[in-house]
Amino acid sequence: GNSVTQMEGPVTLSEEAFLTINCTYTATGYPSLFWYVQYPGEGLQLLLKATKADDKGSNKGFEATYRKETTSFHLEKGSVQVSDSAVYFCALMDMGRRALTFGSGTRLQVQP
Amino acid sequence: KAGVTQTPRYLIKTRGQQVTLSCSPISGHRSVSWYQQTPGQGLQFLFEYFSETQRNKGNFPGRFSGRQFSNSRSEMNVSTLELGDSALYLCASSPGTVAYEQYFGPGTRLTVT
């Protein structure tokens, strides 16, 4: 079946540091890949997406590239802010079932 | 456009009771999916509705059910509540055709005592 593996958190960084959150997946076919962010007490916000190999999704300074050869979709940001503190979820969509499979989430804490 | 709305936001129920949660999707979206989020199991897919029909179902017992109305609003019902049903229930809205990205509501926090 499909699965998504994310790096364990929490990830603690100082403001303006470089961020990488690793995500790898296992899936049959060609899933679409997503990053979602969840702030305390809220639902999930779609951060970015990529629908095919070598696509790069980007939004609000975050980027991730769909790497089919390494089955990865790592999230990066060049300079994090305190306001980026949240839980980040990597997910894939099985286009046959139209259901998202999520990783376990990575908590990011950015210190001023 | 208004986002996905879910009601109620918080709910406390007793074991054995049943509960109904409501979701209004983004205007024009025809697909509604439901997910359960718990600390132990993470985010798990419950089911998806499109044009009033259940298209897909996750691996949950029959106590979990849902429906969708002609205006795309959806409800999910959990009967005979168990302590383990305590969770954040998230509704996600999607155009449902061509574009499948899902947009989530704020969730309903259900506590079963």
User: What average pLDDT is seen over chain A?
Assistant: 95
CA–chain centroid gap for B105, Å, is: 10
Residue of chain B nearest A34, judged by CA positions:
B101
pLDDT at B99: 61
CA-CA distance, B77 to B108, in Å (whole number)?
12
> Which residues in A lie closer than 8 A to residue B66 (C-beta atoms)?
none
Burial of B27-58, coded b for 16+ CB within 10 Å and e otherwise, reads eebbbbbbbbbeeeebbbbbbbbbeeeeebbb
Give pLDDT tens digits for B2-19. Answer: 899 999 999 999 999 999
User: With an 8 Å Cβ cutoff, are B106 and A43 in contact?
Assistant: yes
pLDDT at B98: 64
pLDDT at B29: 92
Give pLDDT tens digits for B42-87. Answer: 999 999 999 999 999 999 999 999 999 999 999 999 999 999 999 9
Give pLDDT tens digits for B25-36. Answer: 999 999 999 999
Closest CA to A89 of A43, A28, A29: A43
Three-state DSSP state, B63? coil
CA-CA distance, B86 to B13, in Å (whole number)?
9
The count of CB pairs under 8 A between chains A and B is: 57
